[in-house]
Copies of this chain bind each other. A is one copy, B any other.
Amino acid sequence: MSAPLHEDRPTGRGPALPDTQQGMRRRNLARVMHAVRAEGSLSRAAVASRIGLTRAAVSTLVDELIRTGLLEELGPERPGRVGRPGSALAVSGHGPAGIGAEIGVDHLAVCAMDLRGEVRARAVRHGTNRGRSPEPVVAELAELIDEVVTAARGERLWPAGLAVAVPGLVARDGRTVVRAPNLDWLDTDLGALLPVDHPLTVDNEANFGALAELWLTEGTPRDFLHVSAEIGIGGAVVVDGSLLRGTRGFAGELGHVPVHPEGPACGCGGRGCLEQYAGEEAVLRAAGLELGEDRVGLLAGRAADGDEDVRRALRDAGTALGIALTGAVNLLDPRSVVLGGALAGLAPWLLPSLEEELARRTAGPACPVSVSPLGPQGPLLGAAHAVVRGVLDDPAGVATHS
């Protein structure tokens, strides 16, 4: 987690900064933060040469970032160099932290991440949230958040913001869960249920999972399609390092792409959607198994043991994924497809048929498919890192909260 990538330029997810002297200063503060973070440690002179500003201009920016606790000095650089020794700068391991939270169908999780990308505190609670109303679930989540924030404060970190990953569609307001079918939540305003002192962002788990791939996994391109699954199948589209959100915030709904147009009816109102072939429930049904709590563990265990029904069910799910992904790849022309979330654990049995299908439907070389090393951790880490990213992208914005 400590080797951040793609850190050399702002994501553009921060507020649009006005084209004034003041806006330029704020953007340059962000450039300094990203430059230092990309290298781990860097002298003022090296920062100046990397971002193309004068040494004097960089010194003024660095002084401000040290004063607000976002950068720290590591002391004089190793001797033996020509000239006056400069002091190496590093991103502070104290100060602002991102609080990430996840509401899963079967668990709740919270973590605190410092600006360097290290998880410094964490809390998890297992147990189904299916069919529970939002109030007690969010109350339980608030307890975990308190626990993590208290632990973080003990490490001289303070929450710069809270980001919550949910298994459902989230409105562009970044706080309302419009529809989470596997929780049975509709139009749930988490902003009202979870009053916190710091900025709150709610987003779909696949979106945060995709951002975690982008920011925390080595080799992830800046344009890819992320596919994840719990009970539903989530997707997220990353274009030039940013999420494609869609007009309502619903983009990436791969689970309801028609695979066999006259196939089984789906909860969405359609027929033969991908979720009817490759969702966890569909796969369990096809394998003749019951829906329990550790569904992926059950499927992976049986498949590893050579259970032919389970292997066939997973092969067929891979084929359906391949058909849906062919359409998605044709529309989006991504650099790669990344399987994340629960799908990552089932990849050994899904991937061969998925790749075969994608290859036989593609004229040139097929779009490469990779498996996320973050797996089910992706959404939680992505949520925490989204807050961290907000600080790196507009350091002046967060300093006012400290």
Contact = CB atoms under 8 A, between A and B. Distances in A.
Nearest to A266: B361
Contact of A261 (B27, B259, B267): B259
A258 interface: yes
A187 to B, nearest CB: 12
Contact of A24 (B19, B237, B334): B19
A332 B331 contact: yes
A131 to B, nearest CB: 20
How many residues of A sit at the interface, in one of the four size bands? 35 or more
Contact of A360 (B239, B270, B324): B270
Interface stretch (A152-160, A245-253, A307-315, A381-389): A245-253
B259 A362 contact: no
Nearest to A51: B19
Interface residues of chain A: helix, strand, loop or mixed (majority): loop
A371 interface: no
A356 to B, nearest CB: 13
A327 B329 CA distance: 12
Interface in A292-350: 323-324, 326-328, 330-335
Contact of A270 (B248, B261, B267, B361): B361
A259 B259 CA distance: 8
A209 interface: no
A362 B244 contact: no
Contacts of A331: 235, 237, 251-254, 257, 328, 331-332
Given A257-B327, A258-B361, A324-B327, 7 more contacts: A19-B27, A237-B331, A237-B332, A247-B334, A256-B326, A257-B326, A260-B260
9 contacts: A235-B331, A239-B244, A249-B333, A252-B331, A253-B330, A253-B333, A268-B363, A271-B361, A328-B331
Interface of A: 19, 24, 27-28, 179, 221, 223, 235, 237, 239, 244-254, 256-261, 267-271, 323-324, 326-328, 330-335, 360-363
Nearest 8 A/B pairs, CB to CB: A246-B333, A270-B361, A257-B327, A253-B330, A251-B333, A250-B333, A269-B363, A247-B335
